[in-house]
Amino acid sequence: MPELPEVEVTRQGIAPHLIGHAVTRVVVRQPKLRWPVPPEILQLQGQTITGVSRRAKYLLVECAVGTLILHLGMSGSLRVLSPAPPAEKHDHLDIELDSGAVLRLNDPRRFGAALWWTQPLDGHPLIAKLGPEPLSAAFNTEHLALCLKGRTKAVKLALMDNQVVVGVGNIYANEALFGAGIDPRKSGGELTPAAIERLVAEVKAVLARAITQGGTTLKDFTQADGKPGYFAQELLVYGKGGEPCPVCDHRLKTVKLGQRTTTYCPRCQR
């Protein structure tokens, strides 16, 4: 599943091709995605795109009359094609531009979304209750300490709670907890102030590095230009259960937390 760095890399890739260009046509080939694609999405036709932003894993294509909200789901991708080849089986949505380029949504599993919203975005039901962006100043030691206070839930699960902080999915939660030296099974309420400070710093550092490297290609993700993300080459623990710890050589252990595979070093992470 594309996580925050992959979505941000996609945003950076498509934004220069969209902003300032008018939409000449919207083609919906498959309206049955995670939620039905609303017919109101056709209001984008004739509009000039004024911005392409991101909130959590949602991509926001903005114009004067509303915002197209896109989500890549588990296997979705967005490509800017010029010229666009004939659509294939899983090419569900095209946004045609006055430049001749086409923004195309491909989603084999159809867990992605294309929605239309004309009100302030912070009032959208999918966005209203989201926590702070992890790379923003709002995600800090004080915020995380308040969220973890008294919680018995494993810290890894708390870190993946979008009401605590958005976009820290399974890959990056594993990596950040390893970098901070924190056992992912530990209750959030047990963390010391120093541990929380380390964890905040590691979340920011891991995500920033992943964005710089173009995301992490595991199965389905590629960048908007079709190239793979290279952060997979820098992963220290994710997907490496049974291998030696890159710090102490102790065997990395894998457990399930919240039905998600979790890899950690029993010696380095306390």
Name the residues annotated as catalytic: 2-3, 57, 260
- CA gap 112, 202 in Å, rounded: 29
**CA neighbours closer than 13 Å in the CB half-sphere of residue 166:** 20
3-state secondary structure 118-171: CCCHHHCCCCCCCCCCCCCCCCCHHHHHHHHCCCCCEHHHHHCCCCCCCCCCHH
90 marked among binding-site residues? yes
31 cis-preceded (ω within 30 degrees of 0) = no
25 marked among binding-site residues? no
Q: Note the Cα 219 to chain centre separation in Å.
A: 15
Which letter, b or e, does each residue of 198-229 get, where b requires 16 or more Cβ atoms within 10 Å of its Cβ?
A: bbbebbbebbeebbebbbbbbebbbbbeeeeb
Residue (of 48, 53, 49, 46) closest to 25 by Cα position: 46
- CA gap 34, 107 in Å, rounded: 10
270 marked among binding-site residues? no
C-beta atoms surrounding 262 within 10 Å: 23
